[in-house]
Amino acid sequence: MIKLTEKETGILKVISQIAGIFTIVVALTMIFSLVQLKTINPLDNPALISVKDQYDKDPENAGKAEQVRAMDLMARKAYFASRRQVETGSYILLAGAIVFVLCQRLIAGNEKVFPNIPGEKPDHATGQNRYRKYVLVTASVITTGAIITSFILRSNLPDLRPSRAAANDPEMQASADNEKAGRKAKRESEEIIAKDDFQPDATNYPFFRGQDSRGIAGGSGYPTDWNGESGTNIKWKIQVPKYGKSSPVIWGDRLFVTGAEGTQAEVYCIDKNTGNILWTASASGITGEPSVLPEMDAEAGLAVSSAAVNDNAVCAIFASGNLICLDHDGNRKWALNVGSLNNVYGYSCSLIIHENTLVIQHDSDQRLSMMGFDINTGKMIWETPRRGRPVWSSPVVGTFDGKPQVIINGNPAVTAFDPADGKELWSVDVLSGDVAPSLAMNGKMVFAVTDYQKLAAIKPGTGASVVWEDNTYTSDVSSPVANNEILVIATGYGDVACYNAMVGDTLWTHYFMEQFYASPVIADNKIYLLDRGGTMHVVKAGRQFELIAESPLGEPADCTPAFSDSNIYIRSRYNLYCISQN
């Protein structure tokens, strides 16, 4: 037993008392919260029911419809937040109990023993020990009960998914019918799957979320089972020299990521087959670089934006405003500073290339614009100002009505620009708030979402308009992915929802234990969903939920994976992995 001084023992007693009180309070709070979540349906809120009743009497009242949507969304968000707190509380509770028990053990092993003096009355040591045991047993029972209760009850918590709720609640079913009545008449014609000629390359994965930044990978034979700790199906694993949250991009046999530490920013070229770092290029010391780091989220850093690569250049941008273009051997082609990118969370917009134009989404508190640079010379060939507020999404490339266009998810507008001259092609106001997810696309529509707002399907082009919208499931960071049949969204609450992309009906939903920041990717008729804990959930890309595999890295991961030649590349918090079936 560790021998402690009297002062150290006193400190442990104070820590033990605090841990004991904390454990009991958290345990009782959890039990109360679990019972409340189990017995109270947030959608039965009297205020919400009253507004729904008013809307049912006047279904043409647009203001009342918006009020119903807003209150319904708030109720669902509050419920999911409470559920997440309960799950996290299980582990916090366990930690508090461990601290309490450990302190008690150390204290018990260092209590002074005094000899009995004949005729002297016994001291209170026996009573104190009995009291301590009583507290220990009480805390243990409450803690154990709370943890067991949480794991038993949370699997049976109320399900707020529209399909099940509507089936059991006639009022909700009526409200849902009213909301979808306008599009049901068109369903038969709209469900005919539109032809999509998008065929991504099996080798090159040039941008954030792949070709055109659509979140769809080419090729086949991608692994579904691996384990980062045991090494199963891990071809190689390396540590990137500097920290970053940029996702890997690939051209040929070369993989590119960025990293930064303090004001020092770097671009790395890695052999995708071996994991060897082929070269490192500095992206610091560029004329115009600020001497003080810009404002940013504590976990973000300078290297959040993913690089962009084509057959002869790789370009990277950092939150310092430094923009650099290199050839595939690491030689600098050009570099410049685009000006302040300062905003509340830090700059995170990734780059994209269309033909010979490098497109930058410039979002800061001082300036909102789209910029086009000649990728060979670094000369700015166009800049188009934007209205609204800064966002943290990234541009995508789509072709509608035979015309290529760069499209962004902004606040308030989803807007398309001609990549040749920057001219605005179309715009429609959709979202407000903190917009971080990038757009999803298929052959006919564009899909925009942000948390505490809504998910909206947009018909692009002249006279662009919202075709359908839903506010049941929204993501805060992760971008959705779509093909011409399904739209998949992964939320910051652990829910994944699959919609009929053409008409907006919910096909299936599934709740996972972890949050999602990485964006889902469709590859080889499967949906790859990487949660923040580092576990990849592989689901069949179809109209019914079918879980194929769950594969852990063994460490946290927020970056979107890259897919190339049947291998998957994942940047975790600490390492970069190549995952191969063999």
How confident is the model at residue 559, as a pLDDT?
97
Summarised one tens digit per residue, pLDDT across range 114-164 is: 555 555 555 555 655 665 665 566 656 656 665 565 555 444 444 444 443
Assigned domain for 319 exists: yes
Name the average pLDDT for the chain: 84
C-alpha 187/C-alpha 435 separation (Å) is 30
Residues ≥6 apart with Cβ < 8 Å to 540: 525, 526, 527, 546, 548
416: pLDDT strictly greater than 90: yes
Domain-terminating residue out of 115, 140, 159: 159
User: What one-letter code names the amino acid at 551?
Assistant: S
500: pLDDT strictly greater than 50: yes
Assigned domain for 172 exists: no
How confident is the model at residue 170, as a pLDDT?
45
- Identify whether the C-beta of residue 582 lies closer than 8 Å to the C-beta of residue 246: no
483: pLDDT strictly greater than 80: yes
How confident is the model at residue 192, as a pLDDT?
46
How confident is the model at residue 181, as a pLDDT?
47
> Averaged over 10-29, what is the pLDDT?
80
Number of independent structural domains in the chain = 2
Token duo for residue 507: 């096909």
C-alpha 162/C-alpha 505 separation (Å) is 10
How confident is the model at residue 382, as a pLDDT?
98
C-alpha 402/C-alpha 545 separation (Å) is 34
Assigned domain for 247 exists: yes
Asked whether residue 243 falls in the same domain as residue 128, the answer is no
pTM comes to 0.73
How confident is the model at residue 169, as a pLDDT?
44
> Averaged over 160-169, what is the pLDDT?
41
Assigned domain for 468 exists: yes
35: pLDDT strictly greater than 80: no
> Averaged over 458-472, what is the pLDDT?
94
How confident is the model at residue 174, as a pLDDT?
47
Asked whether residue 319 falls in the same domain as residue 422, the answer is yes
98-112, 159-173, 221-235, 351-365: which range is least confident on average? 159-173
The pLDDT-based confidence of 26 (bands split at 50, 70, 90) is: confident
165: pLDDT strictly greater than 50: no
The pLDDT-based confidence of 565 (bands split at 50, 70, 90) is: very high
How confident is the model at residue 560, as a pLDDT?
98
How confident is the model at residue 164, as a pLDDT?
36
Assigned domain for 206 exists: no
How confident is the model at residue 570, as a pLDDT?
98
Asked whether residue 260 falls in the same domain as residue 362, the answer is yes
How confident is the model at residue 294, as a pLDDT?
77
Domain-terminating residue out of 121, 137, 159: 159
43: pLDDT strictly greater than 60: no
Asked whether residue 29 falls in the same domain as residue 136, the answer is yes
- Identify whether the C-beta of residue 566 lies closer than 8 Å to the C-beta of residue 523: no
3-state secondary structure of 78: helix
Assigned domain for 181 exists: no
- Cβ neighbour number for residue 311 with a 10 Å cutoff: 9
How confident is the model at residue 122, as a pLDDT?
52
How confident is the model at residue 171, as a pLDDT?
47
64: pLDDT strictly greater than 60: yes
Summarised one tens digit per residue, pLDDT across range 510-543 is: 999 899 999 999 999 999 999 999 999 999 999 9
- Identify whether the C-beta of residue 468 lies closer than 8 Å to the C-beta of residue 442: no
Asked whether residue 111 falls in the same domain as residue 229, the answer is no
Assigned domain for 44 exists: yes
131-135, 214-218, 286-290, 529-533: which range is least confident on average? 131-135
Asked whether residue 154 falls in the same domain as residue 226, the answer is no
For residue 412, cis peptide bond before it (omega within 30 degrees of 0): yes
Question: Which range scores top for mean pLDDT: 4-18, 79-93, 144-158, 207-221?
Answer: 207-221
CATH of the domain at 505: 2.130.10.10
Torsion of CA 225, 230, 235, 236, to 10 degrees: 130
How confident is the model at residue 105, as a pLDDT?
73
Summarised one tens digit per residue, pLDDT across range 296-330 is: 777 788 999 999 999 999 999 999 999 999 999 99
φ/ψ of 498, rounded to 5, equals -120, 125
The pLDDT-based confidence of 40 (bands split at 50, 70, 90) is: low
- Identify whether the C-beta of residue 173 lies closer than 8 Å to the C-beta of residue 163: no
Asked whether residue 217 falls in the same domain as residue 104, the answer is no
Asked whether residue 148 falls in the same domain as residue 229, the answer is no
> Averaged over 485-514, what is the pLDDT?
95
Q: What percent of the chain has pLDDT over 70?
A: 75
How confident is the model at residue 336, as a pLDDT?
97
C-alpha 136/C-alpha 107 separation (Å) is 13
User: What one-letter code names the amino acid at 343?
Assistant: N
Assigned domain for 134 exists: yes
Asked whether residue 149 falls in the same domain as residue 41, the answer is yes
Asked whether residue 331 falls in the same domain as residue 267, the answer is yes
32-41, 97-106, 467-476, 536-545: which range is least confident on average? 32-41
Asked whether residue 155 falls in the same domain as residue 215, the answer is no
C-alpha 253/C-alpha 255 separation (Å) is 7
455: pLDDT strictly greater than 80: yes
Host domain of residue 126: 6-159
Domain-terminating residue out of 142, 159, 176: 159
Asked whether residue 374 falls in the same domain as residue 504, the answer is yes
188: pLDDT strictly greater than 50: no
- For 269-298, letters b (16+ CB in 10 Å) and e give bbebeebeeeeebebbebeebbeeebbbee
Angle between helix 6-39 and helix 125-153 axes, rounded to 10 deg: 30
